[in-house]
Amino acid sequence: MAQEITEDQKEAIALAVQEIGGHAAVATLLGYADRRNVWPWTSGQRPVPPEIAPTLERGCNGKVPVERLCPQARWVRIEDKDWPGHRGRPLLDTARIDAPAATKVETPVTAAPQAAPASRARDHREPRQDRHADKPSHRTGR
Q: Nearest-CA neighbor of 41 among 72, 14, 71, 2?
A: 14
Distance CA(40)–CA(75), nearest Å, equals 23
Angle in degrees, 0-180, between the axes of helices 23-30 and 7-20, rounded to the nearest 10 = 80
pTM of the model: 0.65
**Which of 20-29, 43-52, 72-81, 108-117 shows the lowest mean pLDDT across its residues?**
108-117
DSSP 65: -
The whole-number average pLDDT for the span 130-137 is 60
CATH code, residues 7-71: 1.10.260.40
pLDDT tens per residue across span 89-126? 999 988 866 545 444 445 455 555 555 555 555 555 55
pLDDT at 28 over 60: yes
The whole-number average pLDDT for the span 54-66 is 95
